[in-house]
Each structure stands twice: as structure tokens, then as C-alpha cells.
Amino acid sequence: MTPLLQITNLHASIEDREILKGIDLSVNAGEVHAIMGPNGSGKSTLASVLAGREDYTVTEGSVLFNGKELMELSPEERSREGLFLAFQYPVEIPGVSTANFVKTAVNESRKHRGQEPLEPAAFLSLMRERMALVEMDPSFLQRSLNEGFSGGEKKRNEIFQMAMLDPVLAVLDETDSGLDIDALRIVASGVNALRRADNATIVITHYQRLLDHIVPDFVHVLWNGRIVKSGDKSLALELEQRGYDWLKQESAVEA
Amino acid sequence: MSTHPLVELAQRLVPAHVVDGTLDSSDGRLDALRREGLREFVRMGIPTTRHEEWKYTNLFPFIGLDYTYVPVRWSEGAPTADARTTMTEVASALGRHISIRIVDGVVEADLKHVPVGVEVLELTSEIVESNQDVARTLGSGAPIGSHPFAALNTALLESGILIRLRSGVKCELPIHVSVETTANASTLIAPRMLIIAEEGAEADIIHSSHTSGDATVLDATVVEASVAPSAHIRYYKIADDSDASRSISSVTADVHRDATFTSHALSIGGRFVRNDLAIRLCEPSSQGFLYGVSLLSHNEYTDNHTVVDHMVPHCHSEELYKGIYDGSSTGVFNGKIYVRPQAQKTTAYQSNHTLLLSSKAQVQAKPQLEIWADDVKCSHGATMGQVDEEAIFYFRSRGIDEATAKALLTYAFVSEVAEKISLAGLRELVMRRIARRLSAESILA
């Protein structure tokens, strides 16, 4: 089976400082991968590079997504091809309603697939249905996107957008940060409801607690720009107990 | 030093008996005003960019043209002019309204539906002489001694438009004054409008200008408003599809107790627009609201000079101007707020925000607050910048291309002011026009 995502020897820098130093990762359809690691290990950089943030320069390696070289696509093309990034810090957009934003985004993707825009009524009922997944009140639709939303509301809004765009691969960048336990449960159940045999999820997180709710098939530890250890969900539990220091020492010895 | 052609033109146009004031019988208030206007215009001459108030307003490219003056005159009988401009779009956005068109100088007022208590009259010498309120108001607001084009307008004042709202009359129909010019040769027009709102009266007055010819139209408009206690006037000045127009206007309003004057300066398609707006809050509890949208591209120019004069205690003013400048356009904002020593308990807020969409576009912003009272709340803020990159990336990561993202964000930026327009049809037109300008009509669906 061809992997959905195949990252090979990925190097990326920001302002001449190399952050990713040779990432190799394959993600198959139906899988959930967790990427863990201490602060500054390159987790969010990996998410940003996958989504196409232009602050980063990819200096080496390749990323095949559904057989296409991701690095040759613009951020919007990546989205239309089915990649979704849930932001660690969703941006507040005064004056653009959540409904308008989501509608524009969904119709761009539909256009890309040669589909007609959704009828307003069908669209509204779809939005309401998907909002229910993350227990978001429909009144959020008319509010300016993320403006004045609490941390939890912003993250739920990210998962709502994910549900609307129905991506092939979702990358959740520290979606658990700033969430209380109830919001964490709501967000996780939203993500779980969207899991299917034909899509995949990469969960980037610092802590194990999100993985109690979104159970990964694989756990990878990122340290100093490389994946230094991979395992199943028990690795996350081990990290929770032992911290990251033993891995840092191990990888230092290997290097 | 030779006399400027425009000054010469004005001198030629003002008859000798007005200049000399020799014919006692006809030397009424209007002639006296005209004499004063001409004297001041000749004294001040054409302002250059060395003049602080005209520092960025470069009149040089067009001010020396050989203008033909087209006076305002009232037509007899039914309207005849066909609308070749975007005026019809504004008119249809307003729905049922009172229409006063000035087409190449000819006033065509459709007054069939004018409600009782709303008067639309030709401003003539006879009217001035026989109406004390008119005589008192005309020329009392316009800055004849400091604004050369207000002086020019006054020198040429033979006929104009008087809108009088009688006491307690709330005019349900918007009043639309459209200035349409289809000139094939350089043309000078100087429309004059006097708005008198008596106690408790209320109206929306839309003043739009449109051109359709190739020749330059120099439009030196003067509007004076007197807003009596508890009256509410909403005034909209629209520069729309007026490529050939060089518009230099002076709008003034005297606002009395518990009254409001709300101004919207909507520059959504004007090649050269210089708006001077001065609101005097002359009795306690009067309020002034000043809103502006400037959406410029190519080599367009819009210059808003505003003054809010807090003359007495307990008045309130709010000012919000937003500009979006693309191409090699230039926007100027100069906002003065005066708070006189006796004007305690004043609240005055001003903000001016600008988005620059191109590296060749420029903006000059100058807030000027002069506060002599100590128990006041005043603030001002000015920002200028580009569309937020992080926001653009957020859109792109959701499949929305960069151009659409910019358009949506820009639209959102300016909609905050457009939303202040209380006439729904006009608000929608402005939003639609903005969306069209940004090539983002789909976002309105």
C-alpha cells in the first residue's frame, strides 16, 4: 500500500537556522500518528512546513502526499488536496464571519474537485450538524472568526472547520494547549468522530493526556529536528512517566 | 505677478454692480456675500503645496486649465436629462426618494412626492431677502476667509439648492442630490446647498457626484447645514465613478442642543477628491459623527480634512475614517478636534486606519487635537499597514487563495465603517461597490 504521506529526509530552516534535520515518516490511510517531543524539538515547525508556511525554507528531502510532491504546492493547493492544519494559535479575523469563512473555504475545495457550490440551505444544515460534533453553538456562525473566542472555543472552531473540509490528512498542532479537561474531551471526540479508514491524523502534542482521548497507532519522538524513537501508544505512557531526558541521552549517544 | 486664470475667470464672472456694490436697491445680502467671496478668493488665490492646509493637495496638474463656468440654473418643466452615469445605481439603491439632479448645471427636482414640511427651493436672492433664517445661515458656516474654493463658490453664488425641513418633520424619503456632468470641455461648476433643519426635524441627504465625459470638471461645492435643537441630519457625500472630476468641497454644519449631524464621506471611485468637513458643536448635548471610507486605486486621490469644534460643554463627537489604497493612489487624512476652554465634559474620539495594498500607494495622516479644557475624554488613533500575513496564511491553509484572502480581509477592514450607514440600500450599494473594486463579489453571496 502506498502511504498517504511519505516524508523522506526532510530538512527545513528558518533564517539560516536548521530546525528539521532529516525527518523520515510514513503515514498510511486509517492511521493516527502522534508526534511528541520537548519544546523546541521542531514539532510545530514540522506542522508549519507541511502546511506551507513561507517563513520556512525546505533545504532537502521530499514530502509525497497522495503521490504528489507537497513542497511544490501552495498552501491553498495543499488544503484543496486534502491537507488540514489545526492551528496552535488560530488567528482572530474581525469582520469576517465564521459562516462566510467556512463557506468560502469549502466552496474553494469543491471547485477544485469540480463540484458546484453547495446550496445555502444545505450548507447551513451541514454547518449545524458539524458544529454539533464539537458542541459549538450555531450563534458562532455569525460572529467574526475567532474574535473574542476563548481558547477552547478557538480550538473547537478548528475542529469544526476540519469537519467541514473533511481532509484526507489532518495535522493537529498542539490542539490540546490551553484546553481544560472538558474542552479536551469535546475536541478529541470531534476528531475521533471524523476518523475513517480512508483518512489519517497526525497529532502533535507535548503531553500524553490528549492521547488518552485520541488513541494513536504510532508515537514518534522528535528531538533536535529528528525522529529519535518510534513506538506504539505505550511509548507515550513511558514518556509521561520518564520524561524526555533519557531519550535525549540515548540519542546523544547514538549521534 | 500675473493673475491666475481661475481668479481672472471669477473676476470676469462677477458683475460690476456686485463688485462695486453701487446699485443700492439690488445690493442685498447675496450680493454682499458674493463680493466678500470674490475679495477673499482674489486675496488668497490658488493654494500651493507650500500652504500647510494644502500640503499634499497638488492642484497644479489641473487648476490652470481653461475652464468654462457652467452656472447652476433651475429648469422649467419636466426632467429631460438622461442618466449616463452611475447616478442611476445610487438612485435605485435608495428606493423611493426625493430626487434633485444637477445635470450639467441644470437643476431638475422631482418634487411630486415631497412630504409636507419638506421644502426644496431654489436658493435665490429673493429667497435670501425674504427669509431671515436663510439670510442668517447662508455664508455663516462656509470658511470663506480661509478656504479659497469656498470663497470662489461664494463669489459665483447666483442660484443654489435650499433644503428646509420644518419643525418636527421627519422626512421618511431620503433626499438625493446628484451632480452629474457630461462635459466635453474643461468645466467649472460650483453647486451650493443650504440645509436648514428646524427643531426636531430629521432627514437623510445623499450628495453624489458623477461624471461621464473626458474633459476635466472642477467641482467647487459648498454645503452649509444648520441643525436646530433635537434635529438629526445624516449627510452622505459620495464620489462615485467620477474619473473626470476634480472635486473640492467644503461642508459645514452648526449643531445645536440635543441635535446630531452625521457625515459619511464615501470615496469609492473619484479621481481627485478633497473634502473639507467642519462640524461645530455649538450648544450642549449636540453630537457629531464623522465617518469615511476611501477606496482608491490607480492614481486616485482622496483628501479628507475634518474639523470638529467643541465650543460648549457636554458634547460628543466620534470620528472613524478608513482608507484602502492600491495602485499609486494617495490618501490624506487631517483630523482636527478643538475643545474650547469652556467645553468641559467633552467626549471626542477619532480614529483613522489605513491599509496599503501596494508599495506605490501612500497615505498622509495627521491627527490634530487642540484641547484647552481639562475635564474631557479625548482620544485619537491612527494606524497604517498591510493586510496581516498571519491572517492571509490562515485563509490559504483553508484553501482560499491569497488574492481572495486579501480581498476578504480588506473588505472586512472597511466594512466596519460602511456598516454605520443607516440606509440599508445605500449600505448594500457601498459594500457591493467595495467588493467589486476588490474583485471579491463572491463573498457577498
In terms of Cβ atoms closer than 10 Å to its own Cβ (0-12, 13-18, 19+), residue B36 is middle
Q: Is the pLDDT of residue B255 over 90?
A: yes
d(CA B339, CA B346): 7
Average pLDDT along chain A:
93
Average pLDDT over residues A15-23: 94
Contact with chain A for residue B441, Cβ under 8 A: no
Q: Does pLDDT of B342 surpass 90?
A: yes
Q: Is B154 a residue whose pLDDT tops 60? A: yes
B residues 375-394 lying closer than 8 A (beta carbon) to A: 388, 390-391, 393-394
Chain A closest-CA separation from residue B233 CA (Å): 28
What's residue B273's pLDDT?
95
Assign A197 a pLDDT band (cuts: 50, 70, 90): very high
Share of chain B above pLDDT 70, in %: 94
Q: C-alpha cell of B412? A: 472586512
- pLDDT given at position B443: 59
Interchain contact, A91 vs B390, CB within 8 Å: yes
Residue B82 has pLDDT above 80, yes or no: no
Confidence at residue B151, expressed as pLDDT on a 0 to 100 scale: 98
C-alpha cell, A65: 502526499
pLDDT at B25: 53
Q: Is A130 left (phi over 0), alpha (psi -120 to 50) or beta?
A: alpha
Confidence category of residue B77, pLDDT binned at 50, 70, 90: low
The band of B83, judged by pLDDT with boundaries at 50, 70 and 90, is low
Which residues in chain A have their CB less than 8 angstroms from residue B401's CB? 74, 76, 108
Q: Which residue has the cell 428646509?
A: B164
Q: What average pLDDT does the segment A179-201 reach?
A: 94
CA distances, A233 to each of A7, A29, A171, A191, B412 (Å)? 21, 18, 18, 17, 45
Size of interface A-B (CB pairs under 8 A): 75
pLDDT at B141 over 80: yes
User: What pLDDT is recorded for position B243?
Assistant: 79
Q: Give the one of A85, A95, A144 whose C-beta lies nearest to B397's C-beta.
A: A85
Does any CB of chain A come closer than 8 Å to the CB of residue B416? Answer: yes
Nearest residue in chain B measured CA to CA from A51: B397
Cβ contact A54–B413 (<8 Å): no
From B382's Cα to the closest Cα of chain A, the distance in A is 18
Check residue B211 and give its pLDDT: 85
pLDDT of residue A138: 93
pLDDT tens track for B124-134: 999 999 999 99
Per-residue model confidence (pLDDT) at position B110: 84
Is it the case that residue A193 has pLDDT exceeding 90? Answer: yes
Q: What is the pLDDT of residue B442?
A: 61
User: At the topology level of CATH, where does A5-254 sit?
Assistant: Rossmann fold (3.40.50)
B398 closest CB neighbour out of A53, A54, A161: A161
- pLDDT band (50, 70, 90) for residue B32: very high
Query: Using the beta-carbon criterion (under 8 Å), do A94 and B416 form an inter-chain contact?
Result: yes
Average pLDDT over residues B230-239: 96
Asked if residue B49 has pLDDT above 80, the reply is yes
Among chain B residues, CA nearest to A92: B391
Cβ atoms of residues A216 and A34 within 8 Å: yes
d(CA B207, CA B178): 6
The answer to whether residue B397 neighbours chain A at the CB level (below 8 Å) is yes
Q: Report, as an integer, the average pLDDT of B102-113.
A: 88
The CB-side HSE value for A20 (13 A sphere, CA atoms) comes to 26
Bridge-based pairing state of the strands B187-189 and B68-69 = parallel
Nine-digit cell string for B21: 456694490
Which of B394, B401, B416 shows the shortest C-beta gap to A91?
Answer: B394
CA A55 – CA A64 distance, rounded (Å): 21
- The nearest CA of chain B is from the CA of A104 a distance in Å of 7
Report, in this order, helix, strand and coil percent for chain B, each rounded to 5.
25, 40, 35
Q: How far is the C-alpha of A108 from the C-alpha of B442, rounded, in Å?
A: 11
Assess A76–B contact: CB distance below 8 Å, yes or no. yes
> pLDDT at position A243, please?
86
Residue A201 pLDDT class (50, 70, 90 cuts):
very high
**How many residues can be counted in chain B?**
445
pLDDT attached to residue B35: 94
pLDDT for A152 beyond 70: yes
Residue, of B312 and A2, whose pLDDT is higher: B312
Alpha-carbon span A21 to A58, nearest angstrom: 10
Question: In whole angstroms, how far apart are CA A74 and each of A77, A194, B239?
Answer: 5, 25, 39
Q: Which chain B residues are closer than 8 Å to A90 by Cβ?
A: 394
Strands (DSSP E) found in B287-346: 287-296, 301-310, 316-325, 330-339
Residues of chain A in contact with residue B404, where contact means CB-CB under 8 angstroms, are: 104, 108
Burial of A72 (0-12, 13-18, 19+ CB in 10 A): exposed
Is residue B156 within 8 Å of residue B71, measured between CB atoms? yes
CB burial of residue A63 (10 Å; 0-12, 13-18, 19+): buried
| Predicted confidence (pLDDT) at residue B23 exceeds the cutoff of 70 | no
pLDDT score, position B212: 82
Cell of A66: 497522495
Q: Is B305 helix (H, G, I), strand (E, B) or coil?
A: strand
Per the model's pLDDT, the better-predicted residue between B254 and B56 turns out to be B254
pLDDT (0 to 100) of residue B22: 60
- Give A82-93 pLDDT, tens digit per residue: 999 999 999 999
- Indicate the SS3 state at residue B288: strand
Residues whose CB falls within 8 Å of the CB of residue B371, separated by 6 or more in sequence, listed in order: B337, B338, B339, B378
User: Which residue among A76, A109, A112 sits closest to B396, beta carbon to beta carbon?
Assistant: A76
- State pLDDT tens for residues A49-80: 999 999 999 999 999 999 999 999 999 999 99
pLDDT band, residue B79 (cuts 50/70/90): low
Q: Dump pLDDT digits (tens) for B155-214.
A: 999 999 999 999 999 999 999 999 988 888 999 999 999 999 999 999 999 999 888 878
B444 touches chain A (CB under 8 A): no
- B400 CB within 8 Å of a chain A CB: yes
Whether chain A has a CB inside 8 Å of the CB on B419: the answer is no
Q: Collapse the DSSP code of B274 into the 3-class scheme (helix H, G, I; strand E, B; otherwise coil) and give the result.
A: strand
B341 contact A CB<8A: no
ipTM: 0.96
Query: CA B274, B145, B342 angle in degrees (round to 5)?
Result: 95
- For A208-219, what is each residue's pLDDT tens digit? 889 999 999 999
**Which pLDDT tens digit goes with each residue over A171-187?**
999 999 888 889 999 99
Q: Chain B closest CA to A151's CA: distance in Å?
A: 17
**Residue A255: is its pLDDT beyond 80?**
no
**Three-state DSSP string of chain A:** CCCCEEEEEEEEEECCEEEEEEEEEEECCCCEEEEECCCCCCHHHHHHHHHCCCCCEEEEEEEEECCEEHHHCCHHHHHHCCEEEECCCCCCEEEEEHHHHHHHHHHHHHHHCCCCCCCHHHHHHHHHHHHHHCCCCHHHHHCEECCCCCHHHHHHHHHHHHHHHCCCEEEEECCCCCCCHHHHHHHHHHHHHCCCCCCEEEEECCCCHHHHHCCCCEEEEEECCEEEEEECHHHHHHHHHHCCHHHHHHHHHHC
Q: Which amino acid is at B91?
A: A
Cβ–Cβ < 8 Å for B245, B219: yes
What is the β-pairing status of strands B118-123 and B160-165? Answer: antiparallel
- Proportion of chain A above pLDDT 90, given as a percent: 84
Residue B355, helix vs strand vs coil: strand
The per-residue pLDDT for range A24-56, each reduced to its tens digit, is 999 999 999 999 998 889 999 999 999 999 999
Of the partner residues A75, A80, A104, the one whose CB lies closest to the CB of residue B393: A75
Q: B389 by DSSP, 3-state: which?
A: helix
Identify the residue with better confidence: B334 or B433: B334
pLDDT value at residue B24: 55
**Model confidence at A206, in pLDDT bands (50, 70, 90)?**
confident
Using a pLDDT cut of 90, give the percent of chain B over it. Answer: 75
In this predicted structure, what is the pLDDT of residue B244? 85
pLDDT, tens digit, 9 for 90 and up, residues B272-292: 999 999 999 999 999 999 999
Q: Do B396 and A52 touch (CB under 8 A)?
A: yes
**Cβ partners under 8 Å of residue B412, min gap 6:** A93, A94, A95, A96, A144
Q: Which of B353, B393, B410 has the most A C-beta neighbours within 10 Å, making it the best mutation to test the interface with A?
A: B393
Determine the average pLDDT of the residues in B393-417.
92
Hey, how many other C-beta atoms are within 10 angstroms of the C-beta on B359? 8
Closest CA to B302 of B270, B327, B263: B270
Instruction: Name the pLDDT band for B372 (thresholds 50, 70, 90).
Output: very high
